């Protein structure tokens, strides 16, 4: 049993325990362990076999988990998991993804109505059978109905970051096949979409059989769904599908273009070809002759393919049939890259809910080569995160003042705060305190169910406060988990523009908030966008590159982004100098 398979077992165990309403610490322990194991460079089985290292030395692996790993490696099974799986069908777990439907209510639905799938549940809601259950009601039924689509998507799509992790491993795995000349990952992954449905691989190989055999040996394989002469689909233990296509070299560019998509982009491209008396498909671009026969014009590279249609090569992130065909005429913007980022302006320390100390975060940021960072712990309203009151905040800022001389010439550390916007409006800490900081972020964490006008007013109130520089994760959505709160973004943008304030693109792969379309709208209004990690530990700083994908999809350039500039310039943008 390999690491991916062990991790999948622990995830499954956590899901089933959650459905049973087990202790949340235990559930989290299994989930953390799954994540640790998945990202280990060494196989658990190898660690056990060679005996030089103890499993319990691994982060998040205690005695109980180490024993379970041992059992899994030896037998491939986990008795506790098998027991649970006998009692609970796997399909009911999808219900847990419905926002507002906890494990207890899900269990009632399963037991009382015998409902085991999202489709059945939707039907039951429409027929008003759910509201009749004890402890439910019309309102709960409506909440469930509203959340079913989100839950259904969450079943089918993973975060881009997760897909990327798999892609890196698939690449390594397939590169080693003799005679593989080209290898690309197409589809929504290549377009940098925030979630990915399945992974599309294209390759040119001397022997399609050898390439497909090798894919069949991928450690995370669950089953081979289909296999033909040049095409193969597999399912992985995490339920994700991977499609492999082996294509001839002269069609490689055409196939890459076709399978990168999006469908909408391709429909448009096909229309353009038709107008030119040509035809485009996954094999190439062809000229339709007068006698109806076809002559191959291009197909080897994507650039050739587009050029044959008198089009420039399109950055994959823009291929959504939004405005890329208009841009093709005037020239594409020079899309931002992670190298353009010179600072990170949203991160937490162990003073609140972060894992690392202030100095550890600073050192990590220096290692990344940043010019500056802002330390932005939570304010006191976020009591769950041990948010800072005025006294603790001022003490932290004093500490930063002291550290400034130590780190002079290496990095500039800004005195920041992620200040909550209170439910009734207004900031969580008084202006006399906020005005002593360099960089105050405003966030909505509470009262997310308020009516649109109320939430909008709260955010606008914050942006009108001269001490606030930016609103973080402006819509509050959590991908696959929670819809955005109701907010009038147009009004927020208007206010930001008038007050020379910024909006955030939070780079956490679970947030990516603002999303691509919203970032684009902010850009059009000339509002600078801050792309920040919201790191809660030193590794958390690395999520910046996920924010880049979303930013590129939004068409952002270096000039559109706050933290591509020196801190002094940012102050000027805010009208502070």
Burial-class residue 497 by CB neighbours within 10 Å (0-12, 13-18, 19+).
middle
Q: Which is nearer to ligand DGT, 55 or 254 (CB)?
A: 254
Q: Which is nearer to Zn ion, 18 or 534 (CB)?
A: 534
Give CA–CA dist 312/327, Å, rounded: 10
Q: Which is nearer to Zn ion, 220 or 344 (CB)?
A: 344
Q: At what angle do helices 103-113 and 118-126 cross, to 10 degrees?
A: 80
Considering only 418, 420, 516, 560, the residue that binds Zn ion (CB under 5 A) is: 418
Q: Which is nearer to Zn ion, 33 or 400 (CB)?
A: 400
Q: 266 touches which of ligand DGT, Ca ion, Zn ion, none (CB within 5 to 8 A by kind)? A: ligand DGT
Beta bridge partners of 530: 504
Give CA–CA dist 76/157, Å, rounded: 27
**What is the smallest separation between the CB atom of 242 and Ca ion, expressed in angstroms?**
8
468-471 and 439-443 beta bridge pairing: parallel
**What is the smallest separation between the CB atom of 171 and Zn ion, expressed in angstroms?**
32
- Minimal CA–CA distance to 141: which of 201, 178, 100, 81? 100
CA atoms within 13 A on the CB side of 225: 13
Backbone angles phi, psi at 378, to 5 degrees: -75, 155
Give CA–CA dist 148/126, Å, rounded: 12
Q: 11 touches which of Zn ion, ligand DGT, Ca ion, none (CB within 5 to 8 A by kind)? A: none
Q: 354 touches which of Ca ion, ligand DGT, Zn ion, none (CB within 5 to 8 A by kind)? A: none
# binding residues, Zn ion (CB under 5 A): 2
Give CA–CA dist 137/130, Å, rounded: 7
Beta bridge partners of 243: 200, 233
Q: 324 touches which of Ca ion, Zn ion, ligand DGT, none (CB within 5 to 8 A by kind)? A: none
- Minimal CA–CA distance to 244: which of 257, 235, 231? 231
**What is the smallest separation between the CB atom of 545 and ligand DGT, expressed in angstroms?**
19
Site string for Zn ion, 370-409 (x = CB under 5 A): ----------------------------------------
Q: Which is nearer to ligand DGT, 188 or 203 (CB)?
A: 188
Q: Which is nearer to ligand DGT, 198 or 438 (CB)?
A: 198
Taking phi over 0 as left and psi of -120 to 50 as alpha, with beta for the rest, 261 belongs to left
Q: 534 touches which of Ca ion, ligand DGT, Zn ion, none (CB within 5 to 8 A by kind)? A: Zn ion
Residue nearest to Zn ion (CB): 534
* Segment contacting Zn ion by CB under 5 A, of 1-9, 429-437, 529-537, 541-549: 529-537
**What is the smallest separation between the CB atom of 567 and Zn ion, expressed in angstroms?**
19
Considering only 93, 534, 546, 567, the residue that binds Zn ion (CB under 5 A) is: 534
Q: Which residues bind ligand DGT (CB under 6 A)?
A: 187-188, 196-198, 200, 258-259, 261-263, 266-267
Q: Which is nearer to ligand DGT, 67 or 264 (CB)?
A: 264
Give CA–CA dist 287/276, Å, rounded: 9
Q: DSSP labels for 384-418?
A: GGT-B-HHHHHHHHHHHHHHHHHTTTT-EEEEEEE
| Residues that bind Zn ion in the complex, under the rule CB under 5 A | 418, 534
């Amino acid at each position: 049993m390999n690491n991916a398979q062990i991790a999948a077992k622990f995830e499954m165990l956590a899901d089933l325990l959650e459905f049973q309403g087990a202790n949340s610490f235990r559930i989290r322990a299994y989930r953390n362990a799954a994540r640790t194991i998945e990202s280990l460079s060494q196989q658990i089985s190898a660690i056990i076999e060679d005996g030089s290292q103890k499993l319990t030395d691994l982060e998040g692996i205690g005695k109980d988990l180490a024993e379970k790993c041992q059992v899994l490696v030896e037998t491939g099974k986990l008795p506790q998991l098998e027991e649970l799986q006998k009692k609970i069908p796997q399909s009911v777990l999808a219900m847990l993804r419905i926002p507002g439907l906890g494990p207890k209510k899900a269990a009632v639905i399963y037991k009382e109505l015998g409902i085991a799938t999202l489709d059945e549940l939707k039907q039951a809601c429409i027929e008003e059978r759910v509201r009749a259950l004890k402890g439910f009601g019309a309102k709960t039924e409506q909440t469930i109905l509203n959340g079913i689509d989100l839950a259904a998507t969450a079943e089918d799509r993973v975060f881009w970051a997760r897909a990327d992790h798999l892609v890196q491993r698939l690449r390594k795995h397939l590169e080693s096949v003799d005679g593989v000349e080209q290898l690309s990952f197409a589809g929504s992954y290549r377009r940098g979409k925030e979630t990915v449905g399945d992974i599309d691989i294209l390759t040119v190989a001397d022997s399609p059989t050898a390439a497909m055999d090798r894919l069949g040996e991928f450690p995370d394989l669950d089953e081979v769904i289909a296999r033909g002469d040049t095409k193969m689909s597999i399912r992985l233990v995490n339920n994700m599908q991977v499609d492999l296509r082996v294509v001839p070299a002269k069609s490689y560019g055409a196939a890459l273009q076709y399978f990168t998509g999006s469908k909408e982009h391709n429909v448009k491209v096909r229309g353009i070809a038709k107008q030119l008396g040509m035809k485009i498909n996954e094999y190439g671009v062809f000229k339709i002759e007068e006698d109806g026969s076809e002559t191959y014009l291009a197909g080897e590279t994507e650039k050739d393919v587009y050029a044959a249609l008198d089009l420039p090569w399109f950055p994959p992130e823009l291929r959504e049939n939004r405005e890329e065909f208009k841009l093709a005429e005037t020239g594409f913007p020079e899309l931002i890259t992670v190298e353009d980022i010179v600072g990170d302006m949203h991160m937490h320390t162990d003073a609140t809910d972060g894992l690392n100390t202030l100095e550890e975060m600073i050192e990590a940021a220096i290692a990344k080569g940043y010019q500056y960072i802002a330390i932005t712990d939570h304010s006191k309203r976020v009591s769950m995160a041990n948010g800072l009151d005025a006294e603790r905040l001022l003490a932290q800022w004093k500490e930063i003042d002291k550290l400034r001389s130590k780190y002079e010439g290496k990095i500039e550390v800004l005195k920041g705060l992620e200040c909550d916007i209170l439910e009734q409006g207004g900031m969580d800490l008084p202006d006399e305190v906020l005005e002593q900081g360099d960089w105050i972020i405003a966030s909505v964490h509470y009262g997310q169910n308020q009516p649109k006008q109320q939430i909008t007013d709260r955010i606008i109130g914050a942006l009108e406060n001269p001490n606030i520089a930016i609103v973080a994760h402006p819509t509050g959505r959590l991908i696959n988990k929670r819809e955005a709160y109701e907010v009038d973004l147009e009004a927020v943008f208007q206010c930001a523009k008038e007050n020379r304030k910024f909006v955030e693109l939070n780079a956490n792969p679970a947030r990516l908030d603002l999303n691509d379309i919203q970032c684009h709208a902010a850009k059009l209004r000339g509002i600078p966008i801050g792309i920040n990690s919201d790191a809660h530990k030193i590794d958390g700083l690395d999520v910046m590159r996920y924010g880049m994908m979303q930013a590129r999809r939004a068409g952002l350039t270096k000039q559109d982004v706050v933290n591509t500039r020196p801190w002094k310039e940012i102050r000027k943008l805010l009208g502070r100098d």
